[in-house]
Amino acid sequence: MEYIVGTTEFSCEEACAVTLGKFDSLHRGHQRLIRRVRQLQREGLKGVVFTLNSNRSEVLLTGEERRSLLEDQGLSCLIECPFVPEISHMEPETFVSEILAGRLHAKYLVVGTDFHFGYQRKGDYRLLQDLQTKYGFQVEVIHKKKYEGKDISSTFVKEELKKGNMGVVNELLGRPYGIIGEVLHGRKIGRTLGMPTTNLIPEKEKLLPPNGVYASKTVIDGKMYPGITNIGYKPTVGESFRGVETYIFDFDQDLYGKTIEILLYTFERPEMKFDSLEKLKECMHRDIEFGKEYFGEQ
């Protein structure tokens, strides 16, 4: 996949099918747009995901995570355009003429009903429909996907994630909630307890569910391994940072320095402080039993 980030100097020579939006979680609604672009790509157009990047906090996807998911979709190109004044102050029709028609040679646009663009967000799908004959593209509008009668949105995902409702979160996303990071050296306390763990420190803007223990799977070189994950400060030993610590069942390979992904499936219990490492070990054994039962392991 071609990846263009951090510049307004981009262009595509081929005729493109473009979907535009925030794509800040790639939830099931976003996936509708992407599936349609993939279909148009198979029909001969270059499939492009176009999003505007601004300073973000509490993100559901880091840049690396979004790229990884879109690469798996087999799309031709991802453009993360910086939200700088020359873009943010552009009138809607100027954006259409200079960016969509001029630089991207868009022949097909796929957008949601809530898509807005241009200065003060004055442009929407209706304007695109009005301009399609003038600029030689076709517009397809995809309606919101719903979950239990409510529109699926990134705001909805965040609300449920902050409650620790991983079942609902994963239904909205159409996949388990993931955290990608590099395995770092920890204090090796898990190893002294006979349960070696991996430690990640997520990017600071990454939104995490409440501190506690979760049934999880770890993706290593494309393979998934079940386990349990603790999110938090490990109060029994005391950490100054909020980390993601995972025990992978029956696994003892050296992963230091390797980039892995942790997938969260369900919340088990809140993070707790124990009086001793022995008490922590006893609880970890119960956590492991919970995780193995959840994943149907003996």
Give me the percent of the chain exceeding a pLDDT of 90.
80
Is beta strand 116-117 parallel, antiparallel or unpaired with respect to 146-147?
A: unpaired
Cα 64 from Cα 5, distance rounded (Å): 12
Ranking 1-10, 38-47, 269-278 by mean pLDDT, the lowest is 269-278
Report the CATH number that the domain containing residue 244 is assigned in CATH: 2.40.30.30
Question: When comparing pLDDT for 172 and 56, which is higher?
Answer: 172
pLDDT tens per residue across span 121-131: 999 999 999 99
Report the CATH number that the domain containing residue 127 is assigned in CATH: 3.40.50.620
Q: Looking at residue 97, what is its pLDDT?
A: 97
pLDDT tens per residue across span 19-29: 999 999 999 99
Residues contacting 52, CB < 8 A, separation 6+: 22, 80, 81, 82, 83, 87
Last residue of a domain, one of 108, 143, 178: 143
Judge whether 65 lies within some domain: yes
- Find the domain containing 26 and state its range: 2-143
**Per-residue confidence band for 298, with pLDDT thresholds at 50, 70 and 90:** very low
Judge whether 178 lies within some domain: yes
Cα 227 from Cα 73, distance rounded (Å): 26
Same domain, 132 and 31: yes
Give the total number of structural domains in the chain: 2
pLDDT at 195 over 90: no
Q: Write out the DSSP string of 85-146.
A: HHHHT--HHHIIIIIIIIIS-EEEEEEETT-EESGGG-EEHHHHHHHHHHHT-EEEEEPPPE
Judge whether 148 lies within some domain: no
- For residue 227, which phi and psi values (nearest 5 degrees)? -175, -160
- For residue 24, which phi and psi values (nearest 5 degrees)? -90, 0
Ranking 2-16, 51-65, 216-230 by mean pLDDT, the lowest is 51-65
pLDDT at 219 over 50: yes
Ranking 2-6, 94-98, 216-220, 230-234 by mean pLDDT, the lowest is 230-234
Same domain, 165 and 113: no
Cβ pair 270, 210 in contact under 8 A: yes
Judge whether 113 lies within some domain: yes
Write down the mean pLDDT value for the chain. 92
Mean pLDDT of 32-45: 97
